[in-house]
Amino acid sequence: MTNSTGTRITDVRTALVIGGGIAGPVTALALARAGIEATVFERRPEAADGVGAMLSIAPNGLAALAVVGADEAVREVGQPVPGVVMQDGTGRTLADFHGFPGLPESLALRRADLFRALADHAIAGGIDIRYGKRLVNVVEHADGVTAEFADGTTATADILIGADGIRSTVRGLIDPDAPAPGYGGVLSFGGIVDAAASGGLDVPIESGMMYFAFGRTFLGFWSLPDGRVVWFGSLPREESLTFAEVREVPNEEWLARLRELYTGHVPGEALIGRTAPEDLMVVGPMEFMPDVPTWHTGRIVLLGDAVHAPSSSSGQGASLAAESAVELARCLRDRPTAAEAFAAYEALRRPRVEAITGDAQRKNKAKAGKTGDKPSFPTPEQMFAPVHKFHIDWNARA
């Protein structure tokens, strides 16, 4: 193929992308723009499959999605977030990042809606996504790599990309000693409340604004266009539980524990108190990826949560995955071999993702009550740069 200057660069023509969540379809779209044909393999039987709760796409994530033409598809299912308000546990405003000139756009949306939007957009763009394909093994050979699936089928291409999430199968295959996900010290929950129907709340909530309330514990919340309020909070716990173990506990019991923890918190006490058991979103343990020593081999590379999952405290998981997809495609476009492209990709991405993961870890400790420090509040410039204003120039040589 040729790069933007018309010079022939890479010898990579085809790719297998393992994982059809967020990173996989974006990676396939970015590779297609670089002239590389990619097929996505997803273990679930269909896109989204009802998984996940709510998440946000930060401005840097939207910028990365724009490179592959997926930003408008995501905007159609997301809610614009015009700003962020920091409060204490009494409802008093401590910092208001709202209405500043040049404030970059963020979106809030359901994870399942994001999965579906990205999958549909990729398929409309000619990307082949195959569902019900659980990877069990990968074999590298001199001129390519072969993926073996649980249903007995195989697929071969020049390279394989592990975009298969925080419990990545690919990560373990390329390095059996790779670290497992770490525990952030809290269990995460959320809910949706019809605040107007239940008499309103103790604090005014502007539609779309994201609120972070710090008291004895942390609560985030925002108002949907229909007036309902979404909240997300944390329950500190020394020992982690698996997601399955968390789900074994009845929602009524989790709500009782959360209501006790948020007693006196404004508006946490009211929001959680009005959440019905069937409306509780059990997200599970807050997890992150520790430093992963091996990002790639000769023809296999990791991307997204499989290699650099920050905890949800960062608000950057999906956005970093989109960035990495674009950066990897640029490197494959502009370097002559897969090995050289993978090395360039790691050099570009590792410092950034490790900095964001480290910052999220500090926030996790605060949520888990592991630090006595009072929350500090950044200036508007600090709030939105350099993390949120990060932009990858597709036309620049990697």
Residue 4 has pLDDT above 50, yes or no: no
Q: For residue 18, what pLDDT band results from cuts at 50, 70 and 90?
A: very high
Q: Which range is least confidently modeled, 122-136, 294-308, 370-384?
A: 370-384
- pLDDT, residue 176, reads 96
The CB density around residue 32, as the number of other CB atoms within 10 Å, is 18
E strand or H helix that includes residue 296:
none
Kindly tell me if the per-residue pLDDT of 388 is higher than 90: no
Supply φ then ψ for residue 182, to 5 degrees. -95, 160
Which residue in 113, 40, 32 sits closest to 79, CA to CA?
113
Per-residue confidence (pLDDT) for residue 313, from 0 to 100: 65
Quickly count: other Cβ atoms within 10 Å of residue 216's Cβ.
12
The half-sphere exposure of 225 on its side-chain side, counting CA atoms within 13 A, is: 8
Query: What tokens does 235 get?
Result: 């329950």
- For 76-99, write each residue's pLDDT tens digit: 999 998 888 889 888 898 888 776
Query: What are the structural domains of the chain?
Result: 14-81+104-181+289-384 (3.50.50.60), 184-285 (3.30.9.30)
Q: Give the tens place of pLDDT for each residue, 323-360.
A: 999 999 999 999 999 999 999 999 999 999 988 887 65
The predicted pLDDT at position 62 comes to 94
Residue 16 pLDDT greater than 70, yes or no? yes
pLDDT of res. 34? 97
Residue 198 pLDDT class (50, 70, 90 cuts): low
Q: Of 192, 190, 22, which is closest to residue 111 (Cα–Cα)?
A: 22
Cα–chain-centroid distance for residue 205? Answer: 26
Q: pLDDT (tens digit, 9 = 90+) per residue, 97-136?
A: 776 555 667 899 988 999 999 999 999 999 999 999 999 9
Please state which of the ranges 42-56, 119-133, 294-308, 376-390 shows the lowest mean pLDDT. Answer: 376-390
pTM, rounded to two decimals: 0.89
User: Residue 2: pLDDT above 80?
Assistant: no
Q: Give the per-residue pLDDT at 9.
A: 65
pLDDT of residue 8 exceeding 50, the answer is no
DSSP state of 8: B
Confidence of residue 47 (pLDDT cuts 50, 70, 90): confident
Mean pLDDT of the chain: 87
What's the pLDDT at 160?
Answer: 98
Looking at residue 6, its pLDDT comes to 44
